[in-house]
């Protein structure tokens, strides 16, 4: 059996854009798009199924790997290359197959940009102007350093299309166009979505709660969408708060700050999380959700009935 390349990456725009780059490079590959909290379980599952034997090269992008995974990589001599930009992952640069940089060219970088510069040296087709423009938009969104509204509009389209359709759409566009641009429909659509987002931000602000947690003055909101936009909006509008905690009970907890004297990755590390100084996250598990149900409702008992969630 001919071996292939495997990409293990995150689910956000910076995570799925390496998929787009490999497609544009014409590489034959499989990919797994994971939430941060699923890394260890997915890795162990691959070990149990002996999946690593199917691949001669494994890329990991936009994910902070725990030391246990690096031990497995080294002990089993896997051909792995890691590209990431999270401050809490800098320790892994001791391995020669790891490239973790927080900054590049005197500004913040992202996994997609690091991966792009690596691939561009191998696949010259990636030197197209539209691809570089797209990579820059991904970087701006992930670092929240904007020169236009285009990065947010791209992310809005991703949320609407879904990851798989978005990847197909962007790959087709970047193959055909010399410069990255939206269709007329997408321009109208993103304008409507921008207005909808502003209403959402204002509504969530009304329901923000404020607390002192671990001697930090923080705002807390419950949100399952637009967490980066919401966290940044509230952090900038309320400088009296050190940072904002955004709870997504279906997924994870996010932390956002705008002040230079705050490091939310340090706070997130207390809850098995991490990330950047001004943008980090930690997991929210089934155990956590179970605690909420038992705390809020009376006389809670487990059911032996299991719900089938597969299609």
CB 243 within 8 A of CB 216: yes
What is the number of structural domains in the chain? 2
Q: What is the mean pLDDT of residues 133-152?
A: 94
Range of the domain at 173: 4-181
- The residue out of 147, 181, 215 marking a domain boundary is 181
Confidence band, pLDDT 50/70/90 cuts, at residue 311: very low
pLDDT of residue 117 exceeding 90, the answer is yes
Among the three residues 146, 181, 216, which one is the final residue of a domain in this structure? 181
Looking at per-residue pLDDT, the higher value among 288 and 8 belongs to: 8
Q: Tell me, yes or no, whether 46 lies in a domain.
A: yes
Q: Give phi and psi for 33, each to the nearest 5.
A: -105, 115
228 and 160 within one domain: no
Same domain, 266 and 167: no
Are residue 223 and residue 93 in the same domain, yes or no? no
Q: Which residue has the higher pLDDT, 311 or 58?
A: 58
99/155 same-domain check: yes
* CATH number of residue 257's parent domain: 3.10.310
Reduced to 3 states, what is the DSSP secondary structure of residue 218? strand
pTM of the complete model: 0.80
The answer as to whether 83 is a domain residue is yes
Q: Which residue has the higher pLDDT, 135 or 273?
A: 135
**Residues of 24-36 as b/e, b for ≥16 C-beta within 10 angstroms?**
bbebebebbbbbb
Residue 308 has pLDDT above 80, yes or no: no
Q: What CATH number does residue 88 fall under?
A: 3.40.50
pLDDT greater than 80 at residue 309: no
User: How do residues 160-217 score in pLDDT, each as one tens digit?
Assistant: 899 999 999 999 999 998 999 999 999 999 999 999 999 999 999 999 999 999 999 9
The answer to whether residue 213 is domain-embedded is yes
């Amino acid at each position: 059996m001919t071996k292939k390349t495997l990409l293990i990456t995150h689910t956000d725009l910076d995570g799925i854009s390496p998929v787009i780059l490999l497609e544009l490079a014409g590489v034959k590959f499989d990919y797994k798009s994971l939430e941060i909290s699923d890394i260890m379980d997915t890795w162990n599952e691959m070990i149990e199924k002996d999946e690593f034997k199917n691949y001669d090269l494994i890329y990991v992008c936009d994910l902070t790997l725990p030391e246990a995974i690096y031990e497995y990589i080294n002990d089993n001599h896997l051909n792995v290359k890691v590209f990431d930009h999270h401050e809490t992952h800098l320790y892994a640069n001791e391995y020669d197959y790891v490239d973790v940089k927080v900054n590049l060219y005197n500004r913040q970088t992202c996994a997609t940009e690091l991966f792009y510069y690596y691939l561009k040296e191998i696949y010259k087709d990636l030197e197209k102007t539209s691809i570089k423009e797209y990579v820059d938009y991904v970087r701006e969104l992930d670092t929240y350093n904007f020169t236009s509204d285009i990065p947010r509009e791209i992310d809005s389209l991703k949320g609407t299309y879904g990851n798989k359709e978005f990847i197909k759409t962007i790959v087709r566009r970047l193959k055909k166009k010399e410069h990255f641009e939206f269709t007329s429909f997408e321009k109208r659509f993103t304008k409507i979505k921008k207005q909808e987002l502003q209403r959402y931000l204002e509504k969530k602000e009304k329901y923000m709660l404020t607390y002192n947690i671990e001697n930090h003055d923080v705002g807390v909101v419950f949100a399952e969408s637009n967490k980066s936009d919401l966290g940044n909006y509230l952090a900038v509008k309320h400088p009296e708060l050190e940072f904002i905690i955004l709870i997504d009970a279906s997924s994870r907890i996010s932390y956002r700050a705008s002040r230079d004297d705050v490091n939310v990755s340090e706070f997130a590390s207390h809850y098995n999380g991490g990330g950047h100084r001004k943008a980090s996250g930690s997991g929210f598990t089934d155990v956590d959700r179970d605690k909420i149900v038992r705390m809020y409702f009376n006389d809670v008992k487990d059911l032996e009935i299991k719900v089938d969630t597969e299609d």
